[in-house]
Amino acid sequence: MKRIQINEDVCIGCRLCEVWCIVAHSKSKDIIKAFKQEKPRPIAMIRVQEDIPISFGAQCRHCPEPICVFSCISGALYIDENGIVLHNSKKCVGCWTCILVCPYGAIMRNEDEKTALKCDFCMEQGTPSCVEHCPNEGLTLVEVSENGF
């Protein structure tokens, strides 16, 4: 199975991963429309962290034993048949228990909807958009064992 590897040595902090995450989760899938017209604008589910000279983009690790799924009180978080950790916002009540337990800080809050938000591995399009658009291989898709990296 494939997971996203974070390569902080080569990240240049350009934040294109955030930009393309937003585009990938927009209605239009168009960068101009997503940023200029869609309201509310989608929220990036990857976060670039910076403490110059270090930077990296980090998103959900899709853990083999996801504590967020185990802890979710509503059943909104689940593991799909490919081992990807997904979130059904229709089931989510915004209790934030997932935020309490995720050791990566990978779950965001959608304040408008009062629901959690997380990386969905761009399941609909194949390669995650952040990986696809990273100009410097700061994020790469690698093959890992069933137990993770």
Which of the residues 68 through 87 are near another protein (CB under 8 A)? 70-71, 73-75
Concatenating the DSSP letter of every residue in 19-39 gives HHHHHHTSSS--HHHHHHT-S
Sign of the alpha-carbon dihedral angle for 6, 8, 9, 15: positive
Is residue 93 a contact point for another protein (CB under 8 A)? yes
Note whether 102 and 135 are within 8 A (CB). Answer: no
E strand or H helix that includes residue 48: strand 47-51
- Supply the minimum distance, in Å, between the C-beta of residue 59 and another protein: 11
Note whether 42 and 120 are within 8 A (CB). Answer: no
Site string for another protein, 99-118 (x = CB under 8 A): xxxxxxx-xxx---------
Is residue 64 a contact point for another protein (CB under 8 A)? yes
- Supply the minimum distance, in Å, between the C-beta of residue 18 and another protein: 14
73/123 with CB nearer another protein: 73
Spatial CA neighbour of 109 closest among 97, 122, 126, 127: 97
Q: Which residues bind another protein (CB under 8 A)?
A: 5-6, 8, 47, 49-51, 54-56, 58, 61, 63-64, 67, 70-71, 73-75, 90-91, 93-105, 107-109, 148-149
